[in-house]
Amino acid sequence: LLLLLCAAVGIGQAKTVDVSWDIQQLMVNRDGYSMRKAIGVNGKLPIPPVYLHKGDTIALHVHNSLSVPTSVHFHGMFQNNTVYNDGAGM
């Protein structure tokens, strides 16, 4: 019982999740017909998901390997009173 209680207490602890993304141009064959240019992260498309729990902090390190400027924004994440952190151009 003590072990179970200790495990349950550890589940609710917030943590910092470090994520590194390299945004790059890829050649992909999404339709099975022809290769096309696309933008991916860490050589993948679709980009890898980031899983967080309530209270966690994300430290997202982004390297832009594209030849043009880019921005990042997120879906599925509430931006209450911090919409300027969404990544949309100002």
pLDDT in tens, 50-76: 888 888 888 989 999 999 998 887 776
Q: Which helix (H) or strand (E) holds 2?
A: helix 2-11
Look at residue 63 and give its three-state secondary structure: strand
pLDDT digits (tens, 9 = 90+) for 13-56: 888 999 999 999 999 998 889 999 999 999 998 888 888 888 88
Q: What is the pTM of this model?
A: 0.65
Q: Around Cβ 52, how many Cβ atoms within 10 Å?
A: 14
Instruction: Tell me the two tokens of residue 32.
Output: 């099975």
pLDDT score of 54? 83
Residue 4 · residue 46 · CB < 8 Å: no
Residue 52 · residue 60 · CB < 8 Å: no
